[in-house]
Structure 1
């Protein structure tokens, strides 16, 4: 199954989890990899 994305190619790699959110979830769940 292929999912079609409407996001322009130049925008696809510009997104990441906000650091404040990642830090809060890391404290809660003990992440060791953000993927």
Structure 2
């Protein structure tokens, strides 16, 4: 994610934006959150 977003801070901002997006459903995984795109 860091490489895709262009840096660690940008990656964290992207995750925050995903969490607040109405089209994304977040599920708690064993080690990390799992993001699902909903149509």
Question: How would you bin the TM-score normalised by the shorter chain?
Answer: 0.3 to 0.5
TM-score (norm 1): 0.32
Larger radius of gyration: 1
More strand by share: 2
Larger relative contact order (CA 8 Å, sep ≥ 6): 2
